Amino acid sequence: NLTTNNHLRHMESMKSLPSGAGKIPELNAVILGESLASEEHDLVFPSHDFSKQALVTSPQKYLEMYKRSIEDPAGFWSDIASQFYWKKKWSQQVYSENLDVTKGNIKIEWFKSGITNICYNCLDKIIESGNGDKVALHWEGNEPDVDDSLTYKQLLEKVCQLANFLKQNGVKKGDTVIIYLPMLMELPITMLACARIGAVHSVVFAGYSSESLFQRIMDCKPKIVVTCNAVKRGKKVLNLKDIVDAALLESSQNGVSVDSCLTYENESAMKKEDTKWQKGRDIWWQDVVPKCSTTCDVEWVDAEDPLFLLYTSGSTGKPKGVLHTTGGYMIYTATTFKYAFDYKDSDIYWCTADCGWITGHSYVTYGPLLNGATVILYEGVPNYPDSGRCWEIVDKYKVTIFYTAPTLVRSLMRDGNEYVTRYSRKSLRVLGSVGEPINPSAWRWFFNVVGDSRCPISDTWWQTETGGFMITPLPGAFPQKPGSATFPFFGVQPVIVDEKGKEIEGECSGYLCVKNSWPGAFRTLYGDHERYETTYFKPFPGYYFSGDGCSRDKNGYHWLTGRVDDVINVSGHRIGTAEVESALVSHPQCAEAAVVGVEHEVKGQGIYAFVTLVEGVPYSEDLRKSLVNVVRTQIGAFAAPDRIHWAPSLPKTRSGKIMRRILRKIASRQLDELGDISTLADPSVVDQLIELADS
């Protein structure tokens, strides 16, 4: 797969780079053909044919563009922004920022005083350019023979109808709408309808429990909740309306009552008549929305007006409402999508993420539609009816760009190659990965088996907070290393710092931070700007701190090593250990809990919980089940602990702090690496825990 010709061609192009390009230190190494040559076995080169047609054809082209984006961010980004529709152009200053806590409040603004609308740019603008009859969304149902599609024109009509309904029901610019929907077309439709009228959407992943939904309702006090009665995922039917009902009941008892609950009848999963109903509050989507007008004027908003809120886990129990604004987010998601997937008008794009996560916001809905792409939405699970479903879908729609998560790659890899090779997959040209580091063996399987060694893999590192890709390969531009997210996107300056916050140059590892702002950066945590500053800007003054560890090799490639805070990454989903702990201790028989992440073959990380019971309560299998269950109902099934470890007591320092370092070692059975335990208040606790490890 690593053809020598390609290699030589790349080496040649690297040597002819302009001398000034070498000024950016972390990229120096790409230019040093010799050092790359000595490591050829680690490198995967794009084919000549691919590079020739790519948007960025060579390392020097990438470096030229990158260099300009860093040296002249205002010029670089305003050239791009000018390709979008603005009712009124932004003022002279393209951006302003203060990322240094010692210099006052953290503040980021891009294209301030520019007036635009992201829904207009996603739909009306595409239609005006003559692409109104192009398919915007292909929807594939849970059952293989159920599907639907909408062209850009049809999508706009649906969005306008809902936007009109929302307006008639009192939703105004700046109001919040909570969306609790599975992967139906109504999910992006609702997001876009909110954006059209300047309302702020907050999508809650439809796998979250009623308790989690309740918390989010309390925090952002939505005018309306949009949901559906039920959904089928594989063979299971999930009754979503019941979950919403419970959350709405609890929030009204706590002083936040939501006037309306717009409910889509998802007929294939549940009939109207089987759905529980609260008269006066609940409204069937199908009864009201289709009656609304199919045109709706756009609410023009400032580039810095909020677009959406998305809750994510942090190191404390309370989820953080990450707030993104309109203009910068629009420019950033559109541009990252285009370059990181080498997007062409003829592409058919499928991202397996749910719109309940940031990936579904930026790279199912906004980024692709802003580019006028045809997007696949899939309602079901990847292994239903069997593990070949993804490739069946790829062949059915002739998918050219397939973007997914390492956990899915690993689970399909485990199920065997026959499920893959049974399908042609010859339409595929670019693959993508997101959510956690992709281990080199999964990378190689994805590359060799799924992509027939033909498709570059964009391993995109980014976060809910960053809005879009930060470190990512650009297909065709430079060689890849399996497992490395490679180099920064245009305008992004990643730095690796040591414990003291000092930048480290060259080959190194440490904490991953970002210098300066980029258009897609989040602007605050909803209602808690102080937490925003404390969590992200105080740890290393002057930088945005990502919470991830990272190393950089001698060629300048970046290797993400995972979270360095108390956040666990399970199947690409961020889960705060504190959230799981507070769910566990809410169980009447649980006195104390400490949760750590352990390596998991498919999920990346699994949840391992040490639990101390209330005095006198005996351990039992039933109790274990009921503890796991309490996490399911408080957070959601995806956060259920894989393992409960009975702990008569927990290892604590004399000041009472739980020593998680030791718990991690016990959980992963690295018992000879416990390190110094002499600072524990009672070191014998450790022996007790080890004894109980396999009981």
Which stretches of the chain bind ligand 6R9, using CB under 6 A? Answer: 312, 357-359, 433-437, 459-464, 485, 546-548, 560, 562-563, 569, 572, 574
The bridge status of strand 544-552 relative to strand 508-515 is: antiparallel
| Beta carbon nearer to ligand 6R9, 152 or 208 | 208
In which residue are the tokens 């990643």 written? 494
In whole angstroms, how close is the CB of 567 to ligand 6R9 at the nearest point? Answer: 8
429 is written with which tokens?
A: 């040209």
515 is written with which tokens?
A: 């210098």
For the chain, how many residues are written? Answer: 695
Dihedral angle sign, alpha carbons of residues 574, 576, 580, 583: negative
Q: Which residues pair with 590 in a beta bridge?
A: 613
Nearest residue to 391 (alpha-carbon basis) of 433, 428, 427, 420: 420
Distance of CA 242 to the CA centre of its chain: 27
| Beta carbon nearer to ligand 6R9, 387 or 484 | 484
In whole angstroms, how close is the CB of 359 to ligand 6R9 at the nearest point? Answer: 5
Instruction: Report which DSSP code applies to 387.
Output: T
| Beta carbon nearer to ligand 6R9, 312 or 535 | 312
Residues 6+ apart with CB under 8 A from 646: 611, 613, 619, 692, 695
| Beta carbon nearer to ligand 6R9, 180 or 357 | 357
Query: Is 340 within 8 Å of 472 (Cβ atoms)?
Result: yes
415 is written with which tokens?
A: 């199920």
Pick the catalytic residue from 565, 642, 687, 694.
565
| Beta carbon nearer to ligand 6R9, 298 or 370 | 370
In whole angstroms, how close is the CB of 638 to ligand 6R9 at the nearest point? Answer: 12
CB neighbourhood size of 550 (10 A): 25
Residues 6+ apart with CB under 8 A from 407: 435, 436, 571, 572, 602, 603, 604
Which amino acid, one-letter code, is at 526? Y
In whole angstroms, how close is the CB of 483 to ligand 6R9 at the nearest point? Answer: 9
Give the 3-state DSSP-derived string for 504-517, with helices as H, strands as E and coil as C: ECCCEEEEEEEECC
Three-state SS for 619? coil
Backbone angles phi, psi at 419, to 5 degrees: -65, -30
Nearest residue to 227 (alpha-carbon basis) of 138, 139, 119, 356: 356
Residue 565 annotated to the active site: yes
| Beta carbon nearer to ligand 6R9, 494 or 651 | 494
Rounded Cα–Cα distance for residues 413 and 421 (Å)? 12
Residues 6+ apart with CB under 8 A from 473: 340, 456, 457, 458, 459, 480, 485, 486, 487
| Beta carbon nearer to ligand 6R9, 10 or 361 | 361
Answer left, alpha or beta for residue 173, where phi above 0 means left and psi between -120 and 50 means alpha.
Answer: beta
| Beta carbon nearer to ligand 6R9, 58 or 312 | 312
159 is written with which tokens?
A: 């969005």
What positions carry a catalytic annotation? 565
